[in-house]
Structure 1
Amino acid sequence: MSLEIYLVGNYSHDIGPLVRDAIDNGMIKELDLTIADDKDYNCKGVDMLQKAQDVDGFFSAYPNILPCLTRLQLYNLRFAEGDIHHILFDCCKQLQHLSLEHCDVGDCSVWQVDAPNSVLRVLEIRYSYLKRLKVLCLPKLELLSWEAWVHCEPPLHFGYVPSLKELILLCAAKLDHPEFSLSQLLDGATEINTLTLNFQGEKLWIQPESRQLRAAFSKLRKLSIHGIYVEFDLLWTINLLEAAPTVEIFDIEVYEHPCMVPYWVRVGVQRVQPSWKTPGFTSCKKWQLRELYVTNFSSLVGQHVLFVREVMDQAPNLKTVILKEDEEACKDCEAMGALPTPVGGLFPRTKKEQETIAQQLRDNMVSSSSAQIIFKSIVSTVVF
């Protein structure tokens, strides 16, 4: 059963007994529950505490719900650390997917999860005031996603996570946020095969590293680096690729949103190019890279062409280069009406433009690449 409820008025007292009885009668054995909230992220701490008490009261009134939960989504809650750990990991014996949006155990708090008997497979955290999440023991955890942390330090610490295969980190860090070591953050999570880093057009929040990441990247098969501001150099990303010769899919996404320009101007933000040094390509012969994706590619940005050429030149097993137009329209950009011409120009849609770019990418290469070059626009897919 899938259920979404609001804990307002007598609504929970009407729904709760129905769910309780259906569980007691054996009609429901697995429950996907969302306890929704109509407030945004500006919800105050006192309201979050009250909401947490309401949720705790709901579960206390209908205790047979917790053992049936397989998926749980919660919004705008501030629990006491012991309460949330007991509810989620001691009482929810079947819980496999947990999503917490604007939830914490107090401002600047550290939440420690030590649950050796948990079957949790997916943990999603969005916009939390947690200072750090310490995953001391979650043996079945396969995917962890953290979107938008607010404190200026590594948001995660891993202990025993032998099943963790995918990690997603997304944050628009402010200029005063110091960079942290990705290799230290990943220490203890050496089984990851899919990693996504998304900077949302802001500064890079990871320190320049390459060889230091080899242990953490030893099993990596797909590496996605998204939200790179359009005027930033892309060659720095190859440092990460050099540390992960086992990567087969390298996915780059360039970020350009005119809707953000007024904000940047208002707060006086200036883009700072990544300080990473261009790598020396010492291990390129060992690269297993087969597919390269570049979303929002533009031939007018010389760094884009240079980056793709370098990867094509250095990856002997590369089979496919896919240059994509972003298919997801931004509602805020559309609301602006007539948009200024993007810094990167428009994605090349005509076959003549695409043929010219394909030739530029292949001209005067040190090694001859046999990789297909595919242009995927909203209206067509063309292969060279």
Structure 2
Amino acid sequence: MLRKARDVDGFFSAYPNILPCLTRLQLYNLRFAEGDIHNIIFDCCKQLQHLSLEHCDVGDCSVWQVDAPNSVLGVLEVRYSYLRRLEVLCLPKLELLSWEAWMHSEAPLHFGSVPSLKELFLVCGADLELSGFSLSQLLDGATKIHTLTLNFQGEKLWILPESKQLRTAFSKLRKLSIHGIYVEFDLLWTINLLEAAPSVEIFDIEVFEHPCLVLNWERVVIQRVKPSWKVAGFTSCNKWQLRELHVTNFSPLMEQHMLFVREVMDRAPNLKTVVLKEDDEPCKDCEAMDALPTLVGGLFPRTKNEQETIAQQLRDNMVGSSSVKIIFKSIASIVVF
């Protein structure tokens, strides 16, 4: 590793005009000496607009502070890093930040001045030992986000129960995506987040069920921890701007799925479309299994009769829901009711 690092360093030393001209940089499997990461990325790469780091850090449990008021960086992607925390003190042009798979239990991010940050993606399959963190505290300082995606990859929820505390951070939110919710988990808890963001126009839920992972979970004796969020006391909100509800891997056999969709339909006065869909990208590992186990959530409804029955059940006794389009979107077809 040291030899390869010297090779890379020798290359850039031999061609000193390259770094100042870079607009896009992807780095893999690098451990920077303390101080070098900021010097190389922000002092040398003055034109850098897109930075992707995978398996990169400045030491186990280290904190990387970014204070670059003159930087033009617009996109920052971090994957599989042993950083304990990334502190974005100042990145005035940053518009999109994505962090996938952090290794520590505390909040992986801290924001200072990020006036242009519009999109945030947080993806992690947390193990059971992680206690979770406050999303409102993590987002403190990032109040102009309009697209937020949280993906739990079928594991434990790594955010603490909150609702009203998130209103400041969610004040500009237009699209809220909650992905990777284990198939047996309740979905109603997500409405806590929706109630904190009345400006949301698209609410996107994705259920997670992968039989290919079941044997591995059994081998390490993983037991899913269901959400501890209180789900009682939801009220209809005339201020909700919600226009579209998307549920991926929807299954009518799961009573919680039906209940969740009905609850949102009943409380969103501006709702126009409900999209119930099958995953567009089937898992290759699941398909490769010799005998695919029976899915807990059952199969996505594909016949028109099944779909029509479900659409009617969702509309039964719903006030003002008759005008809502219910769309079934499978890999092979799109049917509208």
CA distance in 2, matches of 1:369, 1:190: 36
Question: Larger RCO: Structure 1 or Structure 2 (Cα < 8 Å, ≥ 6 residues apart)?
Answer: 2
One-letter amino acid of the structure 2 residue matched with residue 274 of structure 1: P
Paired residue secondary structure (1:284): coil
Going from structure 1 to structure 2, the CA distance change for 1:318 and 1:50 (only over 3 Å counts) comes to: farther
State the Cα deviation string for residues 162-203 of structure 1 (Å, max 9, x = none): 000000000000000011000000000001000000000001
Pairing partner for 1:143 from 75, 92, 96: 96
Q: Which residue of 2 aligns with 1:343?
A: 296
Paired residue secondary structure (2:60): coil
Pairing partner for 1:83 from 12, 25, 36: 36
Pairing partner for 1:259 from 195, 212, 232: 212
Going from structure 1 to structure 2, the CA distance change for 1:337 and 1:365 (only over 3 Å counts) comes to: same
Paired residue secondary structure (1:176): coil
Pairing partner for 1:314 from 260, 267, 277: 267
- What count of residue pairs does the alignment treat as equivalent? 337
Q: Which residue of 2 aligns with 1:352?
A: 305
State the Cα deviation string for residues 249-283 of structure 1 (Å, max 9, x = none): 00000000001101110111111210001152346
Pairing partner for 1:152 from 93, 105, 111: 105
More off after superposition, 331-340 vs 52-61:
52-61
Pairing partner for 1:363 from 312, 316, 332: 316
Shift of 1:50: 4.9
Going from structure 1 to structure 2, the CA distance change for 1:279 and 1:244 (only over 3 Å counts) comes to: farther
Paired residue secondary structure (1:272): coil
Structural mapping, 1:239-318, within 5 Å: 239-282=192-235, 284-318=237-271
CA distance in 2, matches of 1:162, 1:280: 35
CA distance in 2, matches of 1:50, 1:246: 53
TM score, norm. by length of structure 1: 0.86
Shift of 1:335: 2.1
Q: Is 2:58 aligned against 1:119?
A: no
Shift of 1:334: 1.9
One-letter amino acid of the structure 1 residue matched with residue 161 of structure 2: P
State the Cα deviation string for residues 355-383 of structure 1 (Å, max 9, x = none): 01001100112444421000000110000
CA distance in 2, matches of 1:283, 1:121: 38
Paired residue secondary structure (1:271): coil
More off after superposition, 244-253 vs 275-284:
275-284
C-alpha contact (below 8 Å) 2:236/2:266 kept by paired residues: no
Residue segments in structure 2 that go unaligned for 5+ positions in a row: none
Paired residue secondary structure (1:197): strand
One-letter amino acid of the structure 2 residue matched with residue 128 of structure 1: S
Structural mapping, 1:21-60, within 5 Å: 47=1, 50-60=3-13
Paired residue secondary structure (1:58): helix
Q: Which residue of 1 aligns with 2:129?
A: 176
Computed over aligned residues only, the root mean square deviation of the Cα atoms, in angstroms, reads 1.1
State the Cα deviation string for residues 4-41 of structure 1 (Å, max 9, x = none): xxxxxxxxxxxxxxxxxxxxxxxxxxxxxxxxxxxxxx
Q: Is 2:285 aligned against 1:329?
A: no
One-letter amino acid of the structure 2 residue matched with residue 213 of structure 1: L
Q: Which residue of 2 aligns with 1:162?
A: 115
Q: Which residue of 2 aligns with 1:129?
A: 82
Going from structure 1 to structure 2, the CA distance change for 1:175 and 1:64 (only over 3 Å counts) comes to: same
Pairing partner for 2:152 from 199, 220, 229: 199
Residue segments in structure 1 that go unaligned for 5+ positions in a row: 1-46
Structure possessing the higher radius of gyration over alpha carbons? 1
Q: Which residue of 1 aligns with 2:174?
A: 221
Shift of 1:331: 1.8
- List structure 1 segments (4+ residues) > 6 angstroms apart after TM superposition: none
Q: Which residue of 1 aligns with 2:325?
A: 372
CA distance in 2, matches of 1:176, 1:128: 18
CA distance in 2, matches of 1:51, 1:262: 38
CA distance in 2, matches of 1:81, 1:243: 40
CA distance in 1, matches of 2:246, 2:108: 28
C-alpha contact (below 8 Å) 1:312/1:369 kept by paired residues: no
CA distance in 2, matches of 1:244, 1:369: 25
Going from structure 1 to structure 2, the CA distance change for 1:51 and 1:246 (only over 3 Å counts) comes to: farther
Paired residue secondary structure (2:189): helix
CA distance in 1, matches of 2:22, 2:113: 24
Going from structure 1 to structure 2, the CA distance change for 1:104 and 1:246 (only over 3 Å counts) comes to: same
C-alpha contact (below 8 Å) 1:81/1:111 kept by paired residues: no
Going from structure 1 to structure 2, the CA distance change for 1:50 and 1:162 (only over 3 Å counts) comes to: farther
Paired residue secondary structure (1:235): coil
One-letter amino acid of the structure 2 residue matched with residue 189 of structure 1: A
Going from structure 1 to structure 2, the CA distance change for 1:174 and 1:313 (only over 3 Å counts) comes to: same
Paired residue secondary structure (1:219): coil
Pairing partner for 1:237 from 169, 182, 190: 190
